[in-house]
Structure 1
Amino acid sequence: MKTGPDIARIAALIGDPARANILTALMSGKALTATELAAEAGVTAQTASAHLARLEAGGLVTQARQGRHKYTRLASDEVAHLIEALMGIAAGAGHLRTRPGPRDPALRRARVCYNHLAGDMGTRMYDSLRARGFLQQDDTTLTLTDSGHRFITSLGLDPDHLPSPRTAMCRDCLDWSERRAHLAGRLGRGLLAHIEALGWAHRVPGTRIVRFTPKGDTAFNAAFPTS
């Protein structure tokens, strides 16, 4: 097909190993410098800057200068959704990185997927909301039901005043480690922020890991039962 979106160009941008590592690092949701991203990609700062320029031109990242540093983040939730989906496909096909270590079990249990909760805890929350009728799937649209609205409000989070109103309220996102969906969209972002604000969990600096406290585990299990 000679007309329509040029998916080959986007695929080529993502397909380079160094750029793929850069995009994966940005899935933490944080804005990072070229030096930090160079370390993640295993390239020099100069080479990383060249990769970042190409990613920005392709609409995959944005860069902003603050003080002496220029910070990079993913361009949108849609880009994050695409990267997580590709990670899920790669994991399902057996294409995994060979850097095992103590972080792996923690990453699989709970981690940040750009701005929402992923891993076992993320899919458990999603499944619990679906099982109790708080989320409803119609064809490709995921919606928060009236009972779901009341439940989220009972947790102390107002669904009507979540940031980024142009973003979908609810969206499922394929979890690369669980191979099932977790919750993205404004509600997914809001719930992760609320969980952190309540002190149930915190992000481990320098990683994508979300670590729950013992009290947080108990509160989470009570709020999102699995049966």
Structure 2
Amino acid sequence: MRIVKIKMFLIAAFAGAVMMSCQKDNLDPSSSADFNDVVLSAARYSVAEDSVTKKHCKGKLTELAEADIPAAVTAYIGTNYDGATLKFAGTDTQGNVVVGLTLADGTYKGLIFDSAGTFVKELSHYRKHAKLTEVAIADLPASVSAYVVANYTGAEMKRAGTNEAGEHFVMLSTAGAPVVLLFNADDTFNKVLEKTKGRGNKKFGHGHK
């Protein structure tokens, strides 16, 4: 009888743990999507600010839809970076194409192509600025939190991350729409980042060209 009671207790405890886990997972279903938006904003910023982009590109980058990426660019990435995931693609006024990728091994790579889709060069500092480590809102530098409170009344800080350069990216939930703020390595405010339209989910490789 005692063995039966113990078994029943264990079953009940396991069921309770599963239910608690499911409830916890359902508390904020948009959580991972929110941070992905921060990552995409960092990718956009990284390709635009890289020294190679500034050297070769003319004018502001215009975001390029996945379906509009030149076939030659897609083929090059599929051949040389099998399994890579697109994070950002954009063109300048001369048609040069810049892309930000997350490779199959989890590392980051930025590439630039000319208007004909011919590979030009890898970006020099893309990885340093695009690779984000999530930071808990409570662990953000005091000056970053103070800036948000002073300049975005009523906004909620949803997710945040920092890159290898020490910059902070903070997503806010405002009355209008989500906003991503960039702070310099010294924790001073830099600028509001443009919202990335793409979801960064195109995979390159065999069968994806």
What band does the TM-score fall into relative to the shorter chain? under 0.3
Report the TM-score when normalising by structure 2.
Answer: 0.26
Decide which structure has greater helix share.
Answer: 1
Report the TM-score when normalising by structure 1.
Answer: 0.25
